[in-house]
Every structure is written in C-alpha cells, then in structure tokens.
Amino acid sequence: MDALLFIIIGAVLGAVLGIVAQRMYAKGAVARSRESAERILSDAEKQAGTVKKEALIEAKDEIYRMKQEAEDEAKERRKEVTAIENRLMQREESLERRAESLDNREHQLSSMQGQIQAKEQKLEDLVAEETRRLEALAGMTADEAKEMLFNRIKEEVTAEAAVYIREAETRAREEADKKARNVVSIAIQRVAADHTAESTVSVVHIPSDDLKGRIIGREGRNIRAFEALLGINLIIDDTPEAVILSSFDPVRREIGRITLETCIADGRIHPARIEEMYNKATALVEQQIHEAGEQAAFDAGVHSLHAELVRTLGRLKFRTSYGQNVLKHSLEVSHLAGVMASELGLDPKLAKRAGLLHDLGKAIDHEIEGPHAVIGADLARRLGENPDIVHCIEAHHADVEPQTVEAVLVQASDAVSASRPGARRETLDSYIKRLEKLESLAEAHKGVEKCYAMQAGREIRVMVKPEEIKDADAVIMAREIAKQIEDELQYPGQIKVIVIRESRAIEFAK
C-alpha cells in the first residue's frame, strides 16, 4: 500500500516537473520568436523608408520634367498667339486701307455716274437729231426703214432656205429614190394584180316596166313589206326597165338585190314570197361572205384568223371605195406589204396579215362612228390580234403616228394600191368639186396668175407672175400648196404640185 502511494506520488511529481519544464521551454521559444519578429519588423521599416525616399525622389524628378514640358508648351503657345495677333493686326490694317480705298472709289463712281448720265442724255439728243436728219434725207421714218430692212433680210433668208431645201431634197432623192423604186417596182411586178374597179350593184334590171306595178303591189303593200323586211329603200321611178336599191349597208343591198331578182324570176311577188326569198338570200349572202373571207385569207397566206374577223373580211366583198372593191384592194395591199417587207429583211407574214386586215373598219363603219382605221383596230384588238397588227391597222391613215416599219409599209402599200391607174373612180360631181377646190386653193396664194388641174386631179400646175415671185419663192410656194392640200382636201393617191415661173422677151421685127 505504501509502495503504491510512493509510486503515485512519484508519477504526479514527474508530471508536474514535465509541465513546468515544458512551460519554461515554451517561454524561451516565445522570447526568441518575439526577438526575430522585432528584427524583421525593424528591417522592413528600414527598407520601407528607403523605398519611400527613392519614390519621392523619382516623383520630384517627374514633376520637374512635366513642369518643364508644360512651360515649354506654354512658351510655344504664346509664340503662336503672338504670331496670330500680329497677322490679325496686319489684316485689320489692310481692311482699313481697303475701306478707305473703297470709299474713295465710291466717291469717284458717283462723280463718274453723273458725268455718264449727262453724256447719255447728250448722246440721246444727238441720236435723235441724227435720226431726224436721216429721216429727212431718206424720206422715210425709222419704222419704215426697219420694215424695209426686215423685208430685205426676210428675202435673203427665204432665198437661202429655198437653196437649202432644194439641196436637201436633191440629196434625199439621190439617196432614197434608187432603193425605193427598186423595192416598189419589185413589189408591183411580183403582185401584178389584174382586176378592174368594181362597185356594188344597186340597180336591178327588169324585163319590162309592167313589173313595176307588181313590185309596188296593191296599195303599195309589196314595196312596204320589202323595205320593212330588208331595211333598204326601193326606188321605182321613170328609169326604163330598172329598179334602184338604196342603202348604206352594202350587205343589205346585196341581199335586197338577190331577193328582188329571185322574186322577179319566180313571177310571184307578194309579202309572204318576199319574206321566203329574203331568208334564202340572207343564207346565200352569209355563205358568200364566209367563203369570200376564207378565200381571201387563203390567197394572202394568212392563217388562224378569228371567225368574226373572217366574216368581217368577207363583208368587204360588197364594199367599194371610189369604185375599187375593198376586199380585192385588201388582198393587193397584203401582197405589196409582204413583198416590200421581204425586200427590206422584215417579217413578211406580219406585214401581209396587217395588209389584209387594214380596212376591216370599212365593213362596219356605217354602224359605228369614227374613222374606219380606228374602228378596225378596235375590232382586231377585241378579237385578240397581235398589238403590232392592231397598230398597223390604226396607223395606215395617220390617225396615230406610225411607230414600226411594218406600219409604214402598210401605209405605203395602201397608197400604191389606191393610186395605180384604173384602181379608183369618183362620181362626176365629187370629181368636179375636187378639181375646183384644188384650183381655188392654189389661186388663193399671192403672185399666182393661173392654175390648171391635170391628170384627173393628180397633178396641179401653178403659173406665177415672174415679177412678183422669184425662183426661191417658187420652191417655198410649192411646199406650202402641197402642205395645204394635205391638210384641207381628201383624195385618193397623191397629187403632184408644179409651180412654173416663166420670163419672156418679146420683140417685133418691122
């Protein structure tokens, strides 16, 4: 028991001594660490002081350098400002000198203006005095002298214009005549249409005048039934063995002719029979119209025409213009336009189609108001024709300005077909009136002595007074008369205007 106690006490004392020894060791370590930390802190403070001194030195150097640069820059700026101030002062002095100079000039100009006004007034007085003297010497006023000078200049300009026109026409003829004649002659030779002028029959011959009473019928019932059914006028007068049919519609007139001739041949003339013959004649004429339209398209080589266009084309068989059958005229224009298009390297099919359809409007112009060219173009456009074809139709009488070469060819072909000898004829009254109008139009010009319409109105010769009209004036007059004829007259083909100025010297031998 005592031994155990000693052991425990010894263990406790050992532990206490270990703890004491450990604490003493720790205190020594702490003291050493503190000394080391103080030494490090002292070194750091010394080093920080050194770095701070170096930084202050560098900062002072940088501040001094920047200050020096700023001073140098300020010096340069002061120099520039000084130079600018000097230039501004110089400019100000210069402007002041200029202002003084301008003031002096203004005074000089004011003085000179007064002198100039005085001189102008004096000059005007001198001019007026000189004008009065010249008027007294010349025996005419200034206005009269101006008019004389103007007339003289006008005569000189007219003479020069006439010379220029003559030279231009000569050059144009030399360049164009050869090619144009060649193309037209080839076209005419290849077409070579050989037919005479036709007109729709409007007179029905009867075997004897006794039939006139039967045609009229009891109390006029036959003639009333005929006119009401056909929509035409039946004229029965003293003309021997003839009955006249009158209507603006050529198709109706043809139906009426066939109906009347059939009734006369049958011998039975009464309203029921007239109506029966009318129905047969209508069917016959419609068949003829269809066949004529198809045959014309076949002869022209034109295909794929609308059925209504074929029918309208066929109706032209019964339409005439100045005695020329319009359907045959359309065929002739188609051939001419096709040949000329081929010679010029254009599309002949388009030209032939346009030539064939160009007078479509004449088949219905008694039903619709307006020029037949515009009516035909509207019909073709409505039935789906090519816009180029439509343009050729509406431009062939210059209702619109031609825009394509084919339109010009159709226009030329129409003129060639209409103006060839024997193609057209006129009634005697309209023919005489046209000649009288042609001569009176030319006689109205100043200096004209006599006028003569020649070649059935296709040429007019104008005799002028040589003492009033000069050669240059004759050229101008010919152009003016031709232009006036184009504007005021309607005529088939073309009219040649010839102005003749003749001087004669006459003496008698005694």
Per-residue pLDDT, 116: 87
pLDDT beyond 70 at 194: no
Span 44-60, pLDDT tens digits: 888 888 888 888 888 88
Among residues of the chain, what percentage have pLDDT more than 70? 88
**Could you tell me if residue 33 is inside a domain?**
no
**Chosen domain end from 378, 400, 419:** 419
Q: Are residues 251 and 374 in the same domain?
A: yes
Per-residue pLDDT, 2: 61
Per-residue pLDDT, 147: 75
Q: Are residues 439 and 364 in the same domain?
A: no
What's the CATH number where 447 sits?
A: 3.30.300.30
Q: Are residues 271 and 364 in the same domain?
A: yes
Span 428-478, pLDDT tens digits: 556 677 788 888 888 888 888 888 887 767 788 899 988 888 888 888 888
**Could you tell me if residue 398 is inside a domain?**
yes
Q: Are residues 269 and 405 in the same domain?
A: yes
Per-residue pLDDT, 196: 37
Residue in the block written with tokens 């619709």: 368
What's the CATH number where 327 sits?
A: 1.10.3210
Span 218-248, pLDDT tens digits: 888 888 888 888 878 877 877 777 888 877 7
Burial 62-90 (b: 16+ CB within 10 A, else e): eeeeeeeeeeeeeeeeeeeeeeeeeeeee
Kindly state the DSSP code that residue 320 receives in the 8-state scheme.
E
DSSP-derived secondary structure for 162-206: HHHHHHHHHHHHHHHHHHHHHHHHHHHHHH-----------EEE-
**Could you tell me if residue 467 is inside a domain?**
yes
Span 359-409, pLDDT tens digits: 888 888 777 778 888 888 898 999 889 899 999 998 888 778 888 888 888
Per-residue pLDDT, 182: 58
Span 132-178, pLDDT tens digits: 777 776 666 767 777 777 777 777 777 777 777 777 777 776 676 66
Q: Are residues 217 and 309 in the same domain?
A: yes
Q: Are residues 369 and 411 in the same domain?
A: yes
Three-state DSSP string of 451-497: EEEEHHHCEEEEEECCCCCCHHHHHHHHHHHHHHHHHHCCCCCCCEE
What is the CB-side half-sphere exposure of residue 149 using CA atoms within 13 A?
Answer: 7
Residue 390 CB contacts under 8 Å (≥ 6 apart), including other chains: 377, 380, 381
Span 483-492, pLDDT tens digits: 888 888 877 6
Number of domains in the chain: 2
Q: Are residues 268 and 399 in the same domain?
A: yes
**Chosen domain end from 419, 447, 481:** 419
Of residues 301 and 201, more confidence is placed in: 301
Q: Are residues 292 and 364 in the same domain?
A: yes
Per-residue pLDDT, 188: 53
Question: How far is the C-alpha of 42 from the C-alpha of 29, rounded, in Å?
Answer: 20
Phi then psi for residue 249, to 5 deg, are: -90, 110
Other CB atoms within 10 A of residue 376 CB: 25
Q: Are strands 242-246 and 233-235 parallel, antiparallel or unpaired?
A: antiparallel
Mean pLDDT score of the chain: 80
Is-above-0.85 flag for pTM?
no
pLDDT band at residue 353 under the 50/70/90 scheme: very high
**Could you tell me if residue 497 is inside a domain?**
yes
Q: Are residues 230 and 313 in the same domain?
A: yes
**Could you tell me if residue 127 is inside a domain?**
no
pLDDT beyond 70 at 199: no
Among residues of the chain, what percentage have pLDDT more than 90? 2
**Could you tell me if residue 265 is inside a domain?**
yes
Q: Are residues 292 and 343 in the same domain?
A: yes
**Chosen domain end from 364, 385, 419:** 419
Q: Report how far apart, in Å, the C-alpha atoms of 229 and of each of 175, 242, 279 are.
A: 60, 21, 10
Per-residue pLDDT, 184: 57
Q: Are residues 216 and 344 in the same domain?
A: yes
- Using a 10 angstrom Cβ sphere, with 0-12 exposed, 13-18 middle and 19 or more buried, the burial of residue 332 is buried
pLDDT beyond 50 at 293: yes
Per-residue pLDDT, 456: 67
**Could you tell me if residue 61 is inside a domain?**
no
Helix, coil or strand: residue 448: strand
AA letter at 190? R
Burial 404-425 (b: 16+ CB within 10 A, else e): bebbbbbbbbbbbbbeeeebbb
Strands (E), 247-388: 320-321, 324-325
- CB 217 within 8 Å of CB 223: yes
| Paired strand residues for 459 | 454, 496
Question: How far is the C-alpha of 399 from the C-alpha of 284, rounded, in Å?
Answer: 36
**Could you tell me if residue 103 is inside a domain?**
no
Q: Are residues 212 and 258 in the same domain?
A: yes
Q: Which domain holds residue 457?
A: 428-501
- CB 251 within 8 Å of CB 281: no
Per-residue pLDDT, 49: 80
- CB 259 within 8 Å of CB 248: no
pLDDT beyond 50 at 286: yes
